[in-house]
């Protein structure tokens, strides 16, 4: 009895896929929040070099966080 393509395709709503999406969403949210949290932490010196490093770190965290969130959404949309 020949198998159809539907029976050969892996289940897209499998537990590992859901866990990966959940972890990507959590990591992306944490990175996005910490990108803004870098500026809320008191006690930083006002040196221009350190301010530029904080700006670069927060932009990097924001870009990585948004990338994780978009990857999680893309995985969810392709699973549907």
Q: How many residues are there in the chain?
A: 80
Q: Which of 65, 79, 80 is nearest to 16 (CA)?
A: 79
pTM attached to this predicted model: 0.72
Place of tokens 């948004």: 66
Q: Which of 39, 31, 38 is nearest to 62 (CA)?
A: 31
Q: Sorting pLDDT into bands at 50, 70 and 90, what band is 79?
A: low
Q: Write out the two tokens for 16.
A: 């590992």
pLDDT at position 41: 83
pLDDT at position 57: 93
pLDDT in tens, 4-61: 555 555 555 677 888 889 999 999 999 999 999 988 887 767 788 888 999 999 999 9
Query: Is-contact 24 75, C-beta < 8 A?
Result: yes
């Amino acid at each position: 009895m020949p198998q159809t393509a539907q029976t050969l395709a892996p289940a897209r709503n499998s537990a590992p896929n859901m866990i990966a999406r959940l972890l990507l969403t959590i990591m992306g949210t944490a990175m996005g929040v910490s990108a803004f949290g870098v500026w809320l932490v008191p006690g930083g010196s006002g040196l221009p070099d350190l301010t530029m490093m904080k700006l670069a770190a927060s932009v990097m965290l924001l870009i990585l966080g948004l990338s994780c969130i978009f990857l999680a959404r893309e995985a969810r949309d392709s699973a549907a």
